[in-house]
Every structure is written in structure tokens, then in C-alpha cells.
Structure 1
Amino acid sequence: MKVAAIQMVSGISIERNLAQAHELLDQARHAGAELAVLPEYFCFMGERDADKLLIAETPGLGTVQDFLADTARELKLWIVGGTVPLATDDPQHAANASLVYDPAGRCVARYDKIHLFRFHDGRQGYDEAAVLKAGDQPVAFTLTDRSGVAWRVGLSVCYDLRFPELYRQLAADVLLVPAAFTHVTGQAHWEVLLRARAIENQAYVIASAQGGVHENGRHTWGQSMVVDPWGVVLAQQATGPGVVIAEIDRARLLDVRQRLPALQHRRL
């Protein structure tokens, strides 16, 4: 099955972001992809973190969710809408939700980011929990490709990548990591963490990133990539908008797991 990791440099205009996302998804479709994964905050990177609350949609209703459903139906693609801010029962906090749409345009899975990023370097700090409500449930879904092969696909978002226990619980064949890694942390840790998650779970990893300098001044790392179960980077893009295409193969997955049955050797 061909898959696509979509890289963007999203700005403050939802309309422009959705237009670019559609163009990139169409490129993925023309390249033969069956599954396309958009990056975290593909629809909006506001001037302030609290701006997420202004555009948070009611679950099941809204411009961004309609776009994902309509585009999946139009292009006959499985689309993972990186993340979308969704309203919660607390008006001061939104969910950072990854939404999965099948080729019929149905929303078949929702994962709310569990691990919220926080840092302080002694001079300045950032805390996602100031405006986001953390999820508490790992989520995986089954994707049956055009050849009839069923894949267990595990969902995660950005900072989740630093918590390997989540991926163990997902027990998936394919792990998705839509992200907006900062340039500093991405340069140091992005690729090594992605390859580690692929190797230790003997799974494919599709990592779709924000990659560039945004209108709000934020600088994201990029390097969207697809990694195979042996930790080999199959394809990647450094910075700027683009589509990373790779083939994932059930025979390759099973071969790695049979030759080195580490998942069967777990004791803890």
C-alpha cells in the first residue's frame, strides 16, 4: 500500500491552509497513495496559542471537519486530519484531536493527544495545557487496503513520540505521528525517536510534520518521513510544503517480526 506523509507550513488563514492541504492531498492521490496523513495543526497556526479556542469546532460539525470528510470522499482516500481543535465541556480548553476519515467520508476514529508539551529554559516557557485538555485513551483503527490486507493503525501526536509505553499499548502495524516539532527539539531528537519507535515496535511509522517558518514567527523542524519496521527511512522531505510517498509492505513487516521476534520475547 502506498502512503503519504503531508508536510505543511500552516498559517493563520484557515481558508488558505485548507486550500493547500487539498492540493497536497490531490498530489498524494495522483501518486497512488491510499492513506494520507496531514500534520498537527494543518488547518491553523494562530498568532497566539489561545487562538485555538476561537476556532475550536463542535465534534462532528464545522468547516475543517466538513473539509476532511468531503476531501476523503472526493479523492477516495483514507485521510488523517493531523489535528483539529475541538470544543470540550470546558470553554477554556480545547481537545487537540486527530480525526480519521475513510474513503466514503466517514469519521471512523478520533484520538485526543494524551501528552501535552511543556518546557521552560530559564528565560521563557510554554505549556500546551494552558489551552488544551489532554486525552486519556490510546486509539487504533483497522484500515483494509485495496488489495484486501487489513492493517492495525495506531494514532499519536507530536509530543507523544517521547513516551514509548503508548506505542506498546497500541500494538499496531503502522504508527502515525502528525507533529509540529520545534526546530530545536526536532533537530536534536525527531529522527532518532521516530526510528526508535519503528524498531522497538517492529512497525511502519508515518510522520507528517510542520516544516518551516510560520506567519506567527514559530520555526518548526519538518523532516516528514516514512520509516520501515527495521528503522530504515524510506522517504523524507526536509522543509517546506510537500508530499512524502512510500510503499508499506505486509511481507516486509512479517519478515522483520519473524527474523527477530522481539515482540514475542517481552517479559515486562
Structure 2
Amino acid sequence: MNAHIKTALIQTPLTWEDPEANRKVLQKKIEELEEDTNLAVLPEMFTSGFTMHPERVAENMEGKTLTWIREVAMASDVAITGSVVITENGKCYNRLLFAHPDGKVEYYDKRHTFTLAGEDKVYDTGKKRLIVEYKGWKLCPMICYDLRFPVWARNTEAYDALLFVANWPLPRISAWDTLLRARAVENLCYCLGVNRVGQDQNGHKYPGHSAVYGVLGEEIAFSDREEIIYATLEREKITHYRNKLRFLEDRDRFTIS
């Protein structure tokens, strides 16, 4: 079990609906990561931008992007995660892939599709959460709009960190900042959020604001420009505050249908 893990939040612009171009840029960024990095987090729909035309970019689970993320994770000895457009059994999903350095790939399908943009009309929804075990840490990855739903994100598995990947636009960025911090505080965990920067084909502007918050909601890292943001998560801080502040023991008990 690692006492700490070093994360790299890759805050980058995305080329609209061009998976090959985006993979090329991201691979270069990953290859240039600091040597002791354990986990690289990419934005939502990192091969295309937030498109409502999945037929233009969708791949299956044997496609180029899954092969790419597995091979780059193995070659760099870094876990890599982010979401892409996946087609399966005639349905399309906004699917987060988590590639381990040993070649294993796990996935999570976005539970809350963004109705304001019509995502619910073209993408099917996920039915279950994913808890990734990596280097002795329990990580709970989610996608963009999921951030607005605290019941779905509630820490019922004693996970150590929430990971949110997003294409979160400028007009609502204050909500992004506030909710990331809130998810950390209410779950006594680290909360990492990775947003893109730049402008997409629909004219939406993305200001970044990728960040890492600690178990008390303290800001550990933040950026509003194109860059790689590094942050080290420390096991001792989680243990210390969960022993001192036993708030999770008082949480409501519930199930989600």
C-alpha cells in the first residue's frame, strides 16, 4: 500500500471530433510527465470534445483508443483515466476508461447524462459505480454532470478519492469550483476535477479550473490555463482526519435504484 500517490491533471484543449489528433497530443503530454507520477487524469471525451454526434467518433472496446490507452499506460508505467465515446450492443456511452500500468482496463459509464445539451437522447446511462483499487488506494471515478448529484457520489465504500473528468463551460464554472470542494468535505476524501480548456465547435468556452481538494476542502492545486497540474495525495491525512472527525459514521444509509 502506497503512503502517497502522485497525480497529474492534464488540462488541455481538445480538437473537435478528431480522435487521432487528440491521442497524438495527449501521448506527448503523458510521455513528458515527471518520472514519479502514478496517475494521469484526462478530460471528459478526450478524443472528441463534448459531442452530441457519437456516430462520428464512437469506437468499440477493441478500438484504437482502448488499445492506445492500455499501451501508453504500460509503456509509461502510469495509470491513465478519462472518458471517450463507446458503442456497445447498439448503444452509445460516455465511458470512462481506467487503464492500469499492468494492462488491465476498467470502465465506468456516466450515470447522469446532461439533459440540457440533449446527452440523454444520444447516450445511454450507466447503472453502477466503479471503485478502482490502485496501489492500495480506492478511487471512485465519475464524469462531469455526476458532480451535481451528491447521493450518487456518497462515500459508502470508504474510498480515498473522487475523480471527476469534465467538459465544464465558463458560464457555470463557479458551480464546478463549489461542488468539487463540497464533494471533498462531505465525503472526507480527496476530490480531483479535470476540466478542459479552449473553445469547442459549438462556441462553448472552457476555462479549466482543474483542481485538487483535500479532506477538509482545502485547495491543494488549481489552474485556469493549459498545463499539467501535479498533486500528491497522502494517506496519512485521510487516516488522521477520519479518526479525528468521524463524520462518515453518521451518514444516512440508503440504496439507489
What TM-score do you get using the length of structure 1 for normalisation?
A: 0.87
Matched, 1:265 2:256: no
Matched, 1:2 2:3: no
Percent of pairs with identical residues: 28
Q: Is the 8 A contact 2:59 2:86 kept in 1?
A: yes
Q: Could you tell me which amino acid in structure 2 is paired with residue 106 of structure 1?
A: K
Give the equivalent residue in structure 1 for 2:114.
Answer: 117
Q: Is the 8 A contact 1:138 1:170 kept in 2?
A: no
Alpha-carbon displacement from aligned partner over 1:191-235 (angstroms, at most 9, x marks no partner): 110000001001111211112223442212311111111111111
Q: Secondary structure at the match of 1:94?
A: strand
Q: Secondary structure at the match of 2:32?
A: helix
Q: Secondary structure at the match of 2:194?
A: strand
2:205 to 181, 203, 219: 219
Distance in structure 2 (CA, Å) of the matches to 1:225 and 1:19: 24
What TM-score do you get using the length of structure 2 for normalisation?
A: 0.91
1:1-268 aligned at under 5 Å gives the runs 1-12=5-16, 13-28=18-33, 30=34, 32-45=36-49, 49-50=52-53, 52-59=54-61, 61-80=62-81, 82-90=82-90, 93-107=91-105, 109-119=106-116, 126-144=117-135, 150-168=136-154, 169=156, 171-186=158-173, 188-240=174-226, 242-268=227-253
Cα distance change on mapping 1:170 and 1:4 into 2, 3 Å? farther
Cα distance, 1:253 vs structure 2: 0.8
Q: Is the 8 A contact 1:155 1:176 kept in 2?
A: yes
Cα distance change on mapping 1:18 and 1:267 into 2, 3 Å? closer
Gaps in structure 1 of 5+ consecutive residues? 120-125, 145-149
Alpha-carbon displacement from aligned partner over 1:58-116 (angstroms, at most 9, x marks no partner): 12x11111110110011000111x111111223xx411100111112221x21000001
Distance in structure 2 (CA, Å) of the matches to 1:140 and 1:177: 13
Distance in structure 2 (CA, Å) of the matches to 1:224 and 1:170: 25
Q: Could you tell me which amino acid in structure 2 is paired with residue 33 of structure 1?
A: T
Cα distance change on mapping 1:254 and 1:128 into 2, 3 Å? same
Q: Secondary structure at the match of 1:254?
A: helix
Q: Is the 8 A contact 2:52 2:118 kept in 1?
A: no
Aligned length: 247
Q: Is the 8 A contact 2:45 2:84 kept in 1?
A: yes
Distance in structure 1 (CA, Å) of the matches to 2:70 and 2:114: 29
Distance in structure 1 (CA, Å) of the matches to 2:207 and 2:185: 22
Q: Secondary structure at the match of 2:162?
A: strand
Q: Secondary structure at the match of 1:156?
A: strand
Q: Could you tell me which amino acid in structure 2 is paired with residue 23 of structure 1?
A: K
